[in-house]
Amino acid sequence: MTGTATKATAAGVFGPLREQLLDAARAFGDGEAAGDGVARLLAGMVDDVDRALREELEIFPVCHHSPASALAMARRLREKRPKVVYLELCEDFAPLLAELKNCRLPVALQSFANELDGFPKKWAPLSVIAPITEASAEYQAIAYAQETDGVELVLVDRSTDHVYQWDPPESDGPAGPDVPDGSGDEDGLHGDAVGIEIGDLRPGFAELEEHLLHHGKVRHWSEWWDQYVEQPLVGADYATYRQVMTLIGSLFRRLDPHARNRERNERRERFMWTRMREHIAATGADPADCLYVCGAAHAVSRVDGFGLRPEAAEPFDIPPRTGTKWRYGLIPSSHSAIEAQFGLASGSVSIAAATFAKAVKRGGAAPFRLKGQRGASAGGRKKAPAPAAPAGAGAGTADRLSGFLARPPALDPLDESELLGWCVDIVGLARRNGYLASTADAIAVFETSVLLAGMRGRTRPTPYDFQDAAVTCIEKDRVPGRRDVARLCEILLGGDRVGQVGYESLPPLARDVLDRLEPLGLDLGKRTVQRALLNLDADPALRPCSDLLWVLRRLLPDDAVRPIMGARELGERSIQESWDLAIGRNQRSLVELGYEGVTAEQVLERRLRRAVYDPKATAAAALRAVEDAVVYLDAGRFADELGARAVELLAAERTVDDAPEVLRRIRRLLAHYRATEPELPEWCREFVTAGYAHYCTLLPTAFVDEHSGVRQVAAMLGFLLGMESLALSLGCDRAQLELAVRQSHPEAPAKVALLWAAKSQLGLMPLADVRARCDELLASPLSVPSFPHYLSGFVQALDPAPGLAPLVVEVLSKAFGRLPDRVLLPWLPKLITTLKDHAREMVPVLVHEASRTFPGSLPALDAWTPPWSGDAEAPAAAAPSAVSGPVADLLAGRPATTEAVAALLGHPVEWRSAPAAAGGGEAAALVARHPEAPEAVAALLAR
């Protein structure tokens, strides 16, 4: 758009206004030419208004969640009665609009996708929302179209798939507006979804915003907009509203410095005009009976495709959608969530809703409402045929801007009754929240509100003036409760209204959850936390509810379903359970869960399968999925499938970072299957054999690798030594483990101790040699500082070699007994921190062994001599008498095994001949004393 005015425009309706603005630009520009930046800006704004008003299709400019836009929309719809309404909203949201009647506003239309086809996987999940409030122009258009016969509502904005095609995220997540950190519970109702709104009228230049706020004597943009746009336009006629809103849209569009925003907006505008031309060509609709509702910035579009008859415009090719499967639904919203989503000031949406309600009550307009909608005031109207537009009801081409811009805004007189009601109510609300407020504070708030309004150039205090006055007069030096006075004012002036999706509009999964939890006897739609008590032993019918609650616990946020009493683990089922349920507060999460499946169990199954087949999945994650499948789904075949995947992942791993978790989970699963199944599943046997070979291969490398910690190496040895008998029975070769241990040559002290423990357990190093090496370490001043690390390795080795516990207690006792204080005291903190960091699970085992070794009383401790002390005189032990019997006969007949074990333990073997048992020994004497039992058994066998 050039700065030179055409003759048609100069002679048109806005010609005088244009010349007046150019004269003002010359005057303020100190005689600069009319082609300078200010003149081009002002002239272009007038040209934009003139172009929008001359368009054949009537354009209705709006601002999102604006009471002035909603009231003007209601008036215009009743006056014009259009037969087709084109609405700037994602075109694939159209099927959701019929479900709004089942909801309590505010709610948000949502499209959701977690399985992407055509977008990078790291973007998942994708989410786009469009919030709807009663005080919004789009809701008025939707209600009018649904409650009036013969009216068609057409959504013309790009689809949610094109949102991500045309505006890809700059990082790992979608690029949405700046969202401040919210402190309220309802700020996160939209999650991290991309927000779609009609007309974001925030200026692009930060300097302009700062200038407006400073000279308008307001704190933030929302207050400026309410004071200088909303209030003057709430009672204005339609022609004035339309021209002013178009002018504002042109101003902010021309001031937007971001090329990315400009390119995105122009693409959207060409898309919308293309859709409208296609619809008119297909249906033959008369443009005079149509209304185009869009953001004020889009109403003054300068793209080539603007208008119904763009002769010189090139056809706009709309790219096809990707293969991503989008799910659609309604989620609850709130005023604070909308404010957080779009960067508005806290309380601004609530104040806008209060302004709308006040204007409706005063008779400014009769808004449209969906019939039977929850939370709405007196119901919608009966459908009636749309009458033809009355004569003279057009958009109006008279110049209303000149008069509106020339005269100051009409100042509303002070409404004392309204302000007094606010002051009295805020004092009562403050007292209920712990403030020491009184009638004097109410009077002070009243006077301060009037004073602040006067200082800011207005006779009628606004809600923002009242809020500042209340904070000044009531909030002294501290906040006694959770809410400060500013928050109390927001509650008083309208509160954070929270919407709710009706049962009929919920996805099948959400309805299934509510139906299956109905035996609990709770109203799960409430937003409060409710306590559910389940006596599963007395009432077995509640067990399905318990099963579902545990599945929801796995799927929903932590505060939605929280167990107070009871547990669900492998082989464990509770008899009684207690739950805190806040499903109504987390309705958004439940709705989004419905996008993934029909039942909660199906969603959990899909998530588990997706987790184990993820490219970054690990064997530990797969074992966790197996455990979840057994605990929550009781699905044996599905668990076998996940277990087979765990075997594949373990064999493909090249690191041992997850070895501790792998060991812990496979032990738990093996114990479960041994206790509940006649034999181990096939995947368990394959996992043990694959893990044995895998860890034997990686063991030499892990011993010398600096990135492999002591905990990981100990877990590997725990797997190899703890499951050695099972692995050997399944066909593994013990020589492979011995070879891996012999090839290991660690240098770190903790890993050296682990290697000694492994060799001792395998019989490659006698226990006496390990004891001797520990004595050498304590005797050398050079090795004493590193001895805590050796001790940490020994403590970690208690898992794969629990027989080392007496040796560890012995070594630790020798250290405390032999080292002098000058060595021991600096060494002790290091020992404690080392054990805390690397062996906290094994320390209880060590303490138990120490309690078994040391005496339990002080007198006994004084007379006690350590068994490892060389100076102690061993008491003469009576020669053990030889024992006869089948076991003794077996050992005596095959002495090789016993001699090998004794040699391994370092004990000599002395064989004694067993005396012949006289008359059957003690067993015969027992039978002789109690003959009744043998006689009863003989009688039983004789039958």
Q: Is the distance from CB of 232 to CB of 409 less than 8 angstroms?
A: yes
> Higher pLDDT residue, 825 or 837?
825
**What is the mean pLDDT of the segment spanning 706-716?**
88
Residue identified by tokens 């001359």 is 54
Decide which of 426 and 880 is more confident.
Answer: 426
Euclidean distance between CA atoms 659 and 675, whole angstroms? 24
Residue 78 has pLDDT above 70, yes or no: yes
User: Looking at 141-155, 653-667, 712-726, 769-783, which range is the least confident one?
Assistant: 769-783
Mean pLDDT, residues 311-333 taken together: 82
Q: Which residues contact 98 (CB under 8 A, 6 or more apart)?
A: 146
**Banded model confidence at residue 413, pLDDT cuts 50, 70, 90:** low
CB 619 within 8 A of CB 657: no
**pLDDT tens profile 182-235:** 345 555 566 556 555 555 544 555 666 776 777 767 777 777 777 778 777 887
What is the tens place of the pLDDT at every residue in 27-74?
A: 665 544 444 666 777 777 888 888 888 888 899 998 888 888 888 898
Q: What's the confidence (pLDDT) of residue 684? A: 92
Q: Which residue has the higher pLDDT, 456 or 516?
A: 516
Give the residue, 206 or 757, on which the prediction is more confident. 757
Which pLDDT score, from 0 to 100, does residue 260 have? 67
Residue 916, judged by CB atoms within 10 A of its CB (0-12, 13-18, 19+), counts as: exposed
SS3 616: coil
Side chain identity at residue 781, one-letter code:
P
Strand order in the sheet with 530-535: 530-535, 576-581, 561-565
Q: Tell me how far apart the alpha carbons of residues 650 and 647 are, in angstroms, rounded to a whole number.
A: 5
Q: Which residue has the higher pLDDT, 21 or 791?
A: 791
| pLDDT the model gives residue 379 | 42
H helices, E strands: number in the chain = 41, 11
DSSP annotation string for 869-883? -TTS-PPPPPPPPP-
Helices 734-742 and 749-762: angle between axes, nearest 10 degrees = 150
Q: How far apart are CA 711 and CA 745, in angstroms?
A: 17
DSSP class of residue 334 equals B
Q: What dihedral angle (degrees, nearest 10) is formed by the CA atoms of 525, 530, 536, 539?
A: -60
Question: Which strand (E) or helix (H) includes residue 130?
Answer: strand 126-132
pLDDT score of 414 more than 70: no
Torsion of CA 188, 134, 250, 287, to 10 degrees: 130
**Residues contacting 397, CB < 8 A, separation 6+:** 13, 53, 54
- DSSP for residue 907: -
Residue 846 · residue 798 · CB < 8 Å: yes
CA 19 to chain centre: 56
Predicted confidence (pLDDT) at residue 179 exceeds the cutoff of 60:
no
Q: How far apart are the first and last CA of the chain?
A: 115
Q: Tens of pLDDT along 106-115?
A: 888 988 888 8
> Is the pLDDT at 942 greater than 60, yes or no?
yes
Does the pLDDT value for residue 15 go beyond 80? no
Read off the DSSP letter of residue 521.
-
Greater model confidence, 260 or 687: 687
Secondary structure element (H or E) that encloses residue 85, with its range: strand 84-90
Kindly state the greatest CA–CA separation across the chain.
137
Token reading at 644: 């087979």
Share of the chain above pLDDT 90, in %: 16
- pLDDT higher than threshold 60 for residue 943: yes
- pLDDT of 181 over the 70 cut: no
More confident residue, 16 or 163: 163
- What CA–CA distance (Å, rounded) separates 345 from 182? 11
Sequence-ordered list of residues with C-beta below 8 angstroms from that of 770, at least 6 positions apart, any chain:
756, 757, 760, 807
User: Which pLDDT belongs to residue 392?
Assistant: 40
Instruction: Give dist(CA 547, CA 542) in Å, integer.
Output: 9
Average pLDDT over the chain, rounded to an integer: 80
Rounded to 5 degrees, what are φ and ψ at 435? -85, 145
> Is a pLDDT exceeding 50 seen at residue 378?
no
Residue 644 has pLDDT above 90, yes or no: yes
**Would you list the DSSP string of 174-227?**
------PPP-STTTTTTTTPEE--S-----S-HHHHHHHHHHHT-SSHHHHHII
Query: Hey, what are 503's tokens?
Result: 């049962």
The residue among 261 and 602 whose pLDDT is bigger is 602
**Does residue 368 have a pLDDT over 60?**
yes
